[in-house]
Amino acid sequence: MPQRVCNFSAGPATLPYDVLEQTAKDVVDFQGLGMGLMEVSHRSKEFMAVVDRTEELLRELMQIPNGYKVLFLQGGASSQFFMVPMNLLSIGKKATYLNTGTWAKKAIKEAQLFGDIDVAYSSEADNFNRVPHQDEYTINEESEYLYFVSNNTIFGTQFQKFPETETLLISDMSSDILSRTIDVSKFSLIFAGAQKNLGPAGVTVVIIREDLLSRAQEAIPTMLKYSTHADKGSMFNTPPCIAISVVCRVLEWLKGIGGTDVIQQRNEQKSAIVYEVMDSGSYYRGHAAKDSRSHMNVSFNLPSPELEAQFIAEATDEGLHGLKGHRSIGGCRASIYNAFPIEGVQKLTHFMEMFAQKNPV
C-alpha cells in the first residue's frame, strides 16, 4: 500500500483502501470483459447484477423490511430537498421541519416553494450547537410529515434519539447512514448522498415506503417522481454506474467486518477518543453541546483564530489532512466516518496534546 494521509475531510471522504484498489482495476477492465466500467452498458447482465447486489446488501445491512423501495438516483442529496415535498406534500398542505443546521435550512427553503412549512424548532440563535429533545417541539397536527437531518456535518451535532411521531417521518441521513443500527420501519423515507459513508459523489440512495409512491401530483416532471425510478428499478435513464459499483464494494466491506453493530461500536470508540482530549482541559472547545455530539464530525475551536490556522498547517505537515472547519463557523473539524481508521484518530489526538503543550495560552 502506498503512503496514505489521514483524510479528515467532510466529504468526499475516505474510503476503504481495498475498495479503491478494486475500483481502479474495474475502471480499466470490468470483470474481465475487456472493457472498463465506464464503457459497459448499464443494461448489461454484468452491471445489472451489480445493482441487484447493491440493493441486496443495503437491505440486509439496514434490515429494510418488505414494503420499501430502494432507489439509486442522481442529483445529489440536495435534489431531495425539493423531491421530498414535490412527491409527498399535497397542494396547500403543511409539513413540519426541524432546523438544526445548514442542510436543514436549505431543505426548508426548497419545501416552502411547495407548501406551508412549519419550522417547529430551530437552534440557529445558538449557531446550531444542538439538536432538540422530543419535548422541545410540537408537530403541527395538520402536517403531512416531519423532516429532520440526522447528523449535521458542519456543526458536529447528531440525533442520538430519533423523533417519535405518528405522521410520516422523513430523514436526511447523508452523513451518518449505516454508521449505526436503526429501525427503518419507523421512517417513511430516508435519503443519503453517497460521499460520506457509502461511496463517491454521484449517486443518492432513497429508501421509500411503497405506499407513498402514488402521492405525487400528475403535474410533476417525470424524472422528479419517485414512482418513475421505482417502476424502472432505478434504470429509467443511465444511472451513475461507477458510483453504484463503489457503493456495492463499500457495502461488501461493511458486511465483511460485521455490519452496523460492529461499525457503531467502532464509531463510538473513535469519537470518544477525540472528545476525551477535548474534555480534559479548556484548550480545545467543542462546538456541539455534549448531549448532541456527533460520532461522525467533531467540530472544535482553539483559543484563537491564529492558533487554529497554525494547528491546521502543522497538522497537514504531519499527514493529518482536511481539518479546516467549514467557512460558516471556522475552527477545526475532524470527520471520522465509517472507513476512517482508529489509528488516524489516535494520531490526531496525540498531535492535539503535543500542540497544546507547545503552544500554551
Q: Which residues are catalytic?
A: 103, 172, 196
Residues in contact with 249: Cβ distance below 8 Å, sequence separation at least 6, in sequence order: 16, 18, 19, 22, 23, 199
3-state secondary structure the chain: CCCCCEECCCCCCCCCHHHHHHHHHHHHCCCCCCCCCCCCCCCCHHHHHHHHHHHHHHHHHHCCCCCEEEEEECCHHHHHHHHHHHHHCCCCCEEEEEECCHHHHHHHHHHCCCCEEEEEEECHHHCCCCCCCHHHCCCCCCEEEEEEECEECCCCEECCCCCCCCCEEEEECCCCCCCCCCCHHHCCEEEEECCCCCCCCCCEEEEEEHHHCCCCCCCCCHHHCHHHHHHCCCCCCCCCHHHHHHHHHHHHHHHHHCHHHHHHHHHHHHHHHHHHHHHCCCCCEECCCHHHECCCEEEEECCCHHHHHHHHHHHHHCCEECCECCCCCCCEEEECCCCCCHHHHHHHHHHHHHHHHHCCC
Query: Dihedral sign, CA of 64, 68, 294, 250?
Result: positive
Query: Dihedral sign, CA of 303, 266, 295, 269?
Result: negative
The grid coordinates listed for 133 are 429533545
